[in-house]
Structure 1
């Protein structure tokens, strides 16, 4: 705990906002704050932008074979499309380059204090005391937490003792690490499916352990990225689900033929498993499916059906806990392990404590970051220029409780707590902007920002 004396000695930046994290969410916030003239400082513990997409960022879960889970043309920042030469599903290296280009284009890097982890954030009356490691605390009027979600592995415990190697997916970098090993991947989210494909190509033998069946969506449908169809679909869920389910039966077939359990839920009631490569490896018996682990027994894994395998490496692809380690956990309400913020971003009890990126959704995350950053930035601007408008929005923060999952009716699991349907989310944010008389993001605003940045750089050039 910082003493009151330390707080009183804090550097006064109370006219500004602090952004913590320079991954895609933090960069989205920086661009929109800059666009609306909101003063801010920006902190990043690593020496570069990009967050998890920088494979050299200590603690990142990134691996060499990773690709974006949503397609190129629906996934970029607003008014800043990904280049046409990128793949339909860009590689992790392309996404990293794109993110760095975004930061350079809008002059965001010049504001970021790199190599500056934040060790503590706490409320002090109507301001926030932010402590960068080894530096004097600073006082801000608001804090935007954009430090990301995939840093704290969730590792289950199984009975018995295992004499082989146990790792979490956060440690995985290359399929070459599986060479000469009998590998069991536990969990079949999208990262687990990718890593299972690495094991299928490099390991001596490869297995996946799953507790339930999944609906597998191929990455391409009729030669087009699967999510490009969803962007244009406006039919209600009661009609969309059976239509798409019938299409999947035609395109994918019966997944139980390859050992996967029959799904125990309807399509879209869990986060979709988008992976064509996994189907290929299952169809070619490069990887075998096992059910849930019952216990370990020396160098064997025993499964709930009584079968057992001799295994060298168990790799848990079992997800992450959404922690914000520089803040007292009690300052948030929680939905599972997700901060239960209004519109995923606004703390209902502590003014100007924001979160961006602590979200699980089914599409276009970067676009959603821009949508919520646009609302945050205009609210912060109005606190100075239109205080009555800001107070009106604060009433909404306290009382409005929208259903952002729409009609998905998701399976009860930690991953789906607070899940957001991208279409529903964008529609609700549009209603909020209209009610508050706030601006939409309009095509062309990025060009004007780019010109302003270039003009400033030209004036400052020696």
Structure 2
């Protein structure tokens, strides 16, 4: 880290750093700035606090876990057993079911934030974050709900916006001409309003499967577009969760044999899913997840409805008309509504001014798991492992341990010196002469 006098000199001489930004307020953050107050951001803040490192969490919405609260359907439950989804240092309540509901998970996150005293700065949309080489610090620019501008200056930046920050809406020929309702699953809450209607669900991941089941169970007539091959596994095998059983088997067997076991068990339980229009990939479910991040579907009852014909399967869409959809096999059907279960993507390319750690193409770390959590110049990532909450917890622990080493060695002394120097002699910091300087308190 640059020594204190060198840092002060660079700040004073750097015109770019000192240019007047009008009414923008600038805040010096002694510890890391964490962008995102979802499960990943909360886990990172809690782990840092446990190490004695203060941080500040910025969140564009008005609450924690906004994706879970506002952009998930009501029937959603955790797909994995709760022991694989708990955040560091706080298990789920014992009276919670094995697969907690959406509301239970949100309650758990609220309790988690209270337990560790995490108080995010809400309604702060980060517009840019850029490392300033001249001073060796990150500059994080945000805009509040009323347009007020803020600049947070920090030594470390933790990106915790995750893989699912923005909805993916594919381009489908003629979709703009469709006369019925079109919505992404981010806008789907329940079957309300779809009773008796023919609904086309595009996408056969866990969300598409569950939305189709929800519609089917409440007197709608869903059809499901299956564009690619997909692994469908029972949620439980031999009295244990499929995920838990797989993790246990991987301790003793190579991934190839575990995949073979999962395939045989799935075939015994479901039969040949290709008979229902659900072809399996050539690679096994765990191998595919490891290489591409594509998650197998854990069935919660949808396959039985597909077998009975209550949920129809269609191939990819060729084009869309006023109320009709033509599929690549030439078949044409009429629908009242289309629901896009086409997933989400990272939004880091829109605001993070860095292209060494994160890919500009998909906004994901360039290095594969488990190396993708750390970049250069104090940049870190939590929640980009394609391994759900389990991966977020692992990243949060690694990040906190790494930052703790620097914090104990240099950063705390530097932060206190800067704060003390400003209190005693504000003119000592000409970089702040045009700003309302604040020293951020810990969370």
Q: TM-score, normalised by structure 2?
A: 0.78
Distance 1:54 1:231 in 2: 29
**What is the 5 A alignment of 1:197-212?**
197-212=213-228
What is the CA-CA distance between 1:326 and the residue it aligns to? Answer: 2.8
Q: Which residue of the partner structure matches residue 339 of structure 1?
A: 364
Pick from 225, 242, 263: which aligns with 1:245? Answer: 263
Distance 2:383 2:72 in 1: 17
Q: Which residue of the partner structure matches residue 438 of structure 1?
A: none
Contact 1:66–1:91 at 8 Å: present in 2 too? Answer: yes
Distance 1:386 1:334 in 2: 31
Contact 1:201–1:286 at 8 Å: present in 2 too? Answer: no
Query: RCO higher in 1 or 2 (8 Å CA, sep ≥ 6)?
Result: 2
Contact 1:22–1:42 at 8 Å: present in 2 too? Answer: yes
Q: Which residue of the partner structure matches residue 278 of structure 2?
A: 261
Residues 295-337 of structure 1: per-residue CA shift (max 9 Å, x gap): 1233210111111110111111112221123323646541851
SS at match of 1:178: coil
Matched, 1:318 2:334: no
SS at match of 1:339: coil
Structure 1 vs Structure 2 CA RMSD: 2.4
**What is the 5 A alignment of 1:183-202?**
183-202=199-218
Residues 75-125 of structure 1: per-residue CA shift (max 9 Å, x gap): 21234221232222211111111111111112223xx22233323322222
Matched, 1:327 2:352: yes
What is the CA-CA distance between 1:153 and the residue it aligns to? Answer: 1.9
SS at match of 2:100: coil
Distance 1:80 1:14 in 2: 27
Q: Which residue of the partner structure matches residue 100 of structure 1?
A: 110
Distance 2:334 2:127 in 1: 44
SS at match of 1:15: coil
Residues 265-305 of structure 1: per-residue CA shift (max 9 Å, x gap): 23212421112311132133221111111112332101111
Distance 2:351 2:363 in 1: 15
Q: Which residue of the partner structure matches residue 386 of structure 2?
A: 360
Would the alpha carbon gap of residues 274 and 305 (structure 1) be closer, same or farther in structure 2, given more than 3 Å must change?
Answer: same
Q: Which residue of the partner structure matches residue 125 of structure 2?
A: 117
Q: Which residue of the partner structure matches residue 57 of structure 2?
A: 42
Q: Which residue of the partner structure matches residue 12 of structure 2?
A: none
Pick from 275, 286, 289: which aligns with 2:313? Answer: 289
Contact 2:179–2:322 at 8 Å: present in 1 too? Answer: yes
Larger Cα-atom Rg: 2
What is the CA-CA distance between 1:65 and the residue it aligns to? Answer: 0.9
Q: Which residue of the partner structure matches residue 224 of structure 1?
A: 240
Distance 1:94 1:201 in 2: 23
Residues 12-51 of structure 1: per-residue CA shift (max 9 Å, x gap): 5253211111111001110111111222122222332223
Distance 1:293 1:203 in 2: 24
Distance 2:380 2:407 in 1: 17
SS at match of 1:334: coil
Q: TM-score, normalised by structure 1?
A: 0.75
Q: Which runs of 5+ in 2 are unaligned?
A: 1-15, 289-293, 411-443
Q: Which residue of the partner structure matches residue 415 of structure 1?
A: none
Distance 1:10 1:286 in 2: 58
Distance 1:338 1:132 in 2: 19
Would the alpha carbon gap of residues 338 and 11 (structure 1) be closer, same or farther in structure 2, given more than 3 Å must change?
Answer: closer
Contact 1:185–1:316 at 8 Å: present in 2 too? Answer: yes
Would the alpha carbon gap of residues 53 and 7 (structure 1) be closer, same or farther in structure 2, given more than 3 Å must change?
Answer: same
Contact 2:231–2:281 at 8 Å: present in 1 too? Answer: no
Distance 2:115 2:159 in 1: 23
Distance 1:309 1:339 in 2: 38
What is the CA-CA distance between 1:52 and the residue it aligns to? Answer: 1.8
Contact 1:169–1:315 at 8 Å: present in 2 too? Answer: yes
Would the alpha carbon gap of residues 157 and 228 (structure 1) be closer, same or farther in structure 2, given more than 3 Å must change?
Answer: same
Contact 2:84–2:389 at 8 Å: present in 1 too? Answer: no
